[in-house]
Structure formats: C-alpha cells, structure tokens
Amino acid sequence: MKKITLSLMAVFMSALAFAQTNQDTSIQLGLGNETYVSQQGWNNTNEQLQLGISNYSDISQEGWFNQNTTLSVGLENQSYVDQYGILNSNSTTQVGEMNVGVVSQSGYDNSSTQMQLGTSNGALVNQVGNYNSADQYQLGSGNTALAYQDGNSNTIIQDQQGDSNFALSLQDGSSNGSYQFQVGNDNLAYSFQDGTSNNSLQQQQGNYNTALNEQSGVLNTSDQSQVGDGNYVSNFQSGWLNSSQQVQLGDDNTATVEQVGVRNDALQLQWGDNNLASSNQSGNINNSLQLQIGNYNTAASTQDGDFNNVIQLQNGVYNDATAYQLGDSNSIMQNQSGSYNNALDIQLGSSNVSMVSQTGLGHTHLGLQVGVGNTMTVNQSN
C-alpha cells in the first residue's frame, strides 16, 4: 500500500510539474539577429521567427497562460513584449525595415495585435485591466500608432495606410471603443475617452487632415469623416448620450463641436473648400444641423438650455449664418442659397421660432426675439 501511495504521489507531482512548464520556440535565420526571452509562472508560451538581418526581440511573460507570437522578416526590426497576469495574448508581425513594436499588458485576458508592413513604422500598446483589446495595422513608412487603455473591456483599432500618419487613442474606464482609420499621408488623429461605453470613429482619406475627439461620461458617440486635404475637425463632449457626426468632403474645411449635458445631437456636413462650422450646446436634448455646400461659407451655432433646435443650410460662396439661443424650446432655421448672404438670429427666452430664407446675392438679415412664444418668418430673394 505504501508503494502504491508513493507511486500515485509521484504521478501527481509529475503532472503538476508538466502543468507548470513554460514553452518557448525561437528560430533565427539570417545574420546578427538577437532575442531575449524570460517566462515565469505556469503554461506561458512564446513562439517567434526572425528572418533577415539584425532583427531584435525582447519577450517577458509572468503569470499563467500568457501567449506571444512574433514574426520579424527584414532588416533591423524591433519587438518588445511585456505581459503580466493571466491569459494575456499578443501577436506581432513585422515585414520590412526598422519597424518598432512595443506591447505592455497587465491584467486578465487582454489581447493585442500589431502588424507592420513597410519601413520605420512605430506601434505601441499599453493596457492595464481586464478584457481589453488593441489592434494596430500599418502599411507604409514612418507611421506612428499609440494605444493606451486602463480599465475593462475597452477596444482600440488603428489602421494606417500611407506615410507619416499619426494616431493616438487613450481610454480610461469600461467598454469604450476607439476606431481610427487613415489612408494617405501626414494625417493626425487623436481620441481621448473617459467613462463608460463611449465610442469614437475617425476616418481620414487624404493628406494633412486633423481629427480630435475628447469625450467623458456615458454612452457618448463621435463620428468624424474627412476626405480631402488640410481639413480640421474637433469634438468635445461631456455628459450622457451625446452624439456628434462630422463629415468633410473637400479641402481646408474646419468643423468644431462642443456639447455638455444629456442627449445633445450635432450634425455637420461640409462639401467644398474653406468652409467653417462651429456648434456649441449646453443643456439637454438640444439639436444642431449645419450643412454647407460650396466654398468659404461660415456657420456658427450656440445654444444654452433645453430642447432647442438650430438648422443652418448654406449653398454657395461666402455665406455667413449665426444662431444664438438662450432658454428652452427655441428653434431657428436659416436657409441661404447664393453668395455673400448674411443671417444673424438671437433668441432669448422660451418657445421662440425664427425661419429665414435667403436666395440670391448679398442679402442681410438680423433677427432678435426676447420673451416667450414669438415667431419670425423672413423670405428674401432677387
């Protein structure tokens, strides 16, 4: 009986020792490749292949069931991976020259993917928490992608195609999503989110475009799309359930949104060149729509209160529309078609309505309403 007991203990200890075994498979083919691997804990796995000249990797894993896969093909690519915790995973693929990938993950079940095809691209992932994921794809030269996440169940996707693009995403909280897509050269995309279930989508196609998003709170949404060159778009939202959509088709357009409160909505559409649109809303359930077709148009909207609405439509050149509302349940509609038209509406109070339509050249409107329940309708044409 004693021999049987000792035999069972030996089998158990052997199984335990096997379960604690870390595994590394590293293959180097070429000249001057270098790798360092450190694994501590149970069932960590590392697989890597270096093919080429002077590629470098430094892999460190501590904990249970962490996994890394690295492929470097080319010249002087560098990969750094540091994982601490349980069930974290990373995949790095580098094909080209002098690409650098850095991954740092701490927590439970975080995942990251880095794919670099080209020359001198840089990618960094830093994740702290649980169930976070970051994917970075780079095709071209001199692109930079930075992803920082602190919290749980956050997601970042960064896709860059072209040269010298820059994407930065920083998220703090839970269930936030940031998606950045760049096609072209020298584009800049920044996204900062703090809170729960906020989402940001930034799409850039062209050159020298800039997109900035900053959101704090719960369930805020930002959608920014730029097609052309030299466009600028920014969104700042704080509160709950705010929504901003900004679309630019053309060159050198500027669109800005700032919203504070609950359920505010802003939509900006620019089609042409050198247009300027700004929307500022403070309060709850306010709505702003700005549509510009043409060149050198300017639209500005400011609302402070609840249940206010502004619609600004401009088709032509050098039109200027300004709307200001202070109070609740006010509405302004400004429709300008032609060139060199100007409309300014100010409403102070509640339940006021202003409707302005100007067609042709060189019309001017100034409207002021103070009080409750006032209505103004203006039509000008030539």
**9 has a pLDDT exceeding 70:** no
**5 has a pLDDT exceeding 70:** no
**165 has a pLDDT exceeding 60:** yes
pLDDT reported for residue 62: 98
Q: What percent of the chain has pLDDT over 90?
A: 95
**233 has a pLDDT exceeding 70:** yes
Query: Do residues 134 and 113 make contact, with C-beta atoms less than 8 angstroms apart?
Result: yes
* Alpha carbon 246 to its chain's center: 13
**86 has a pLDDT exceeding 70:** yes
Average pLDDT over residues 229-256: 98
- Token pair in block for residue 188: 């800049």
**75: pLDDT confidence band, cut at 50, 70 and 90?**
very high
pLDDT reported for residue 269: 98
**151: pLDDT confidence band, cut at 50, 70 and 90?**
very high
**20: pLDDT confidence band, cut at 50, 70 and 90?**
low
Range of the domain at 67: 2-381
**Whose CA is closest to 290, among 280, 274, 301?**
301
pLDDT reported for residue 166: 99
Average pLDDT over residues 123-142: 99
**286: pLDDT confidence band, cut at 50, 70 and 90?**
very high
Query: Do residues 150 and 170 make contact, with C-beta atoms less than 8 angstroms apart?
Result: no
**281: pLDDT confidence band, cut at 50, 70 and 90?**
very high
Contacts of 256-265 with CB under 8 Å at 24 or more apart are: 259/286, 261/286, 264/237, 264/239
Task: Write down the number of H helices and E strands in the chain.
Answer: 1, 33
Q: How does pLDDT run across 304-317, given as a tens digit for each residue?
A: 999 999 999 999 99
Average pLDDT over residues 325-332: 98
In Å, how far are 72, 273, 289, 320, 342 from 317, measured between CA atoms? 53, 10, 19, 9, 11
**134: pLDDT confidence band, cut at 50, 70 and 90?**
very high
What mean pLDDT is reported for the chain? 95
CA 318/CA 314 separation, integer angstroms: 9
pLDDT reported for residue 73: 99
Domain count, the chain: 1
DSSP string, 245-276: EEEEEEES-EEEEEEEEES-EEEEEEEEES-E
Three-state DSSP class for residue 3? helix
- Residues for the chain: how many in total? 382
pLDDT reported for residue 101: 99
